[in-house]
């Protein structure tokens, strides 16, 4: 385990601080995919591309498991989730304390969240008219999840389980129902798998965000059984967390793409 007070064990003198490493530590971006604070880079960062793609991958996986896949329904469902989550949810999240520190005015973020939810609802209404009332609960629950999660009301909505159900199980079930117009054991099992993956995502991303956005400095060392020692800092703690997140996001997206090609080819 890292010893954040390792310098106290030295016998004499003040601890030596590498100011270049300290400065680089302070300058970590708010997310590994963050591109910049202003212009188009701010919007790229706001979209959280790896996580948005991961979330949309669940929609595609759910749709691809249905007995028959309709391309127009799949496109509409993916677009609705992109508007509701990729744009609206992330804009609302940035309004809560500015965790990404990007230069987009609050009024613009509010407009983006309203437009995103309105677009998703419009697509949901069209879906209900064409597919049936079976979509209505999903059309209602979706926007409620976006607002409840970002407002942390109720608190369970922002818990690990709430995150896994809202951003893992829900898109899988919606994608399936939009195609099959019913729920089956196949959809429920796939949703359970998405819950497990989303729970793992949360377990990795929570400490990663803490390291990047709140920790100022982490200094320490690790001692191995053979007597070797090595330094520990924020970057060494972040590396395995974010490598796993990158791999998992690509894995879900590629799996979704493979399933879609297999069903639509």
**Per-domain residue ranges of the chain:** 19-264
Per-residue pLDDT of the chain (265 residues; tens, 9 = 90+): 444 333 333 333 333 434 444 444 446 889 999 997 888 999 999 999 999 999 999 999 999 999 999 999 999 999 999 999 999 999 999 998 899 999 999 999 999 999 999 999 999 999 999 999 999 999 999 998 988 877 766 666 668 998 999 999 999 999 999 999 999 999 999 999 999 999 999 999 999 999 998 998 888 998 999 989 999 998 899 999 999 999 999 999 999 999 999 999 8
Q: What is the pTM of this model?
A: 0.86
Token pair recorded at residue 12? 């004499």
Q: Which residue has the tokens 């999660």?
A: 149
Closest CA to 204 of 193, 212, 214: 212
Looking at residue 216, what is its pLDDT?
86
Distances in Å between the alpha carbon of 263 and those of 31, 79, 233? 35, 19, 46
CA-CA distance, 235 to 217, in Å (whole number)? Answer: 10
CA-CA distance, 219 to 2, in Å (whole number)? Answer: 8
Looking at residue 217, what is its pLDDT?
87
Q: Which residue has the tokens 């009301």?
A: 153
Looking at residue 253, what is its pLDDT?
98
Q: Are 127 and 135 in contact (CB under 8 A)?
A: yes
């Amino acid at each position: 385990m890292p010893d954040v007070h390792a310098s106290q064990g030295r016998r004499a003198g003040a601890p030596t601080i590498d100011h270049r490493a300290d400065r680089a530590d302070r300058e970590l971006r708010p997310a590994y995919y963050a591109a910049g604070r202003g212009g188009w880079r701010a919007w790229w960062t706001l979209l959280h591309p790896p996580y948005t793609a991961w979330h949309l991958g669940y929609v595609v996986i759910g749709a691809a498991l249905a007995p028959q896949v309709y391309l127009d329904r799949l496109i509409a469902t993916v677009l609705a989730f992109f508007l509701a989550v990729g744009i609206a949810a992330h804009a609302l999240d940035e309004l809560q304390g500015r965790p990404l520190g990007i230069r987009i005015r609050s009024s613009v973020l509010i407009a983006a969240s309203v437009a995103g939810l309105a677009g998703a609802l419009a697509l949901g209404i069209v879906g209900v008219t064409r597919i049936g009332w079976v979509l209505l609960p999903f059309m209602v629950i979706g926007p409620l999840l976006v607002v409840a999660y970002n407002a942390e009301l109720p608190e369970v909505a922002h818990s690990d389980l709430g995150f896994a159900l809202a951003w893992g199980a829900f898109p899988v079930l919606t994608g399936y129902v939009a195609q099959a117009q019913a729920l089956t054991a196949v959809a429920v099992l796939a949703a359970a798998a998405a819950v497990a993956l989303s729970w793992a995502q949360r377990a990795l991303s929570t400490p990663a965000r803490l390291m990047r956005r709140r920790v100022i400095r982490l200094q320490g060392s690790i001692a191995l059984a053979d007597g070797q020692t090595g330094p520990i800092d924020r970057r060494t703690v972040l590396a395995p967390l974010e490598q796993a997140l990158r791999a998992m996001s690509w894995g879900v997206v590629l799996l979704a793409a493979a399933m879609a090609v297999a069903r639509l080819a």
